[in-house]
Amino acid sequence: MAFSVVPLLLHSSSLPEGARLALVDALAQPESDRAPLLANAARILYQEVSLDCADALELVGLAAPLDGSCGCG
């Protein structure tokens, strides 16, 4: 079982509303369908909170691509 901070993020007052909605939607989906919604939440965190892309991805439970590219931009 992987550790996730997503439930904690949902209660953070500094979480942008768009990221919160994407995370709530992701948690309502089967695990196999969550990645696009989690990536959207990471993108919002990257853009609105100025987090590093790899950090934003890690916060929502996704791994940064090994090739160094980032889908947050």
Alpha carbons 6 and 66: distance in angstroms, whole number: 22
> Which domain covers residue 17, as residue numbers?
6-59
- Tens of pLDDT along 9-34? 888 888 899 999 999 999 999 989 99
Q: CA-CA distance, 28 to 48, in Å (whole number)?
A: 24
68 occurs within a structural domain: no
Q: Is residue 41 part of a domain?
A: yes
How far apart CA 65 and CA 57 sit, in angstroms, is 10
20 inside domain: yes
Question: What's the structural domain count of the chain?
Answer: 1
Tens digits of residue pLDDT in 24-69: 999 999 989 999 999 999 999 999 988 888 888 888 888 877 666 6
Confidence of residue 1 (pLDDT cuts 50, 70, 90): very low
pTM reported for the whole predicted model: 0.84
Provide the b/e sequence for 23-48 (b: ≥16 CB within 10 Å).
bebbeeeeeeebeebbbbbbbbbbbe
Q: Evaluate whether residue 73 is within a structural domain.
A: no
pLDDT at 61: 87
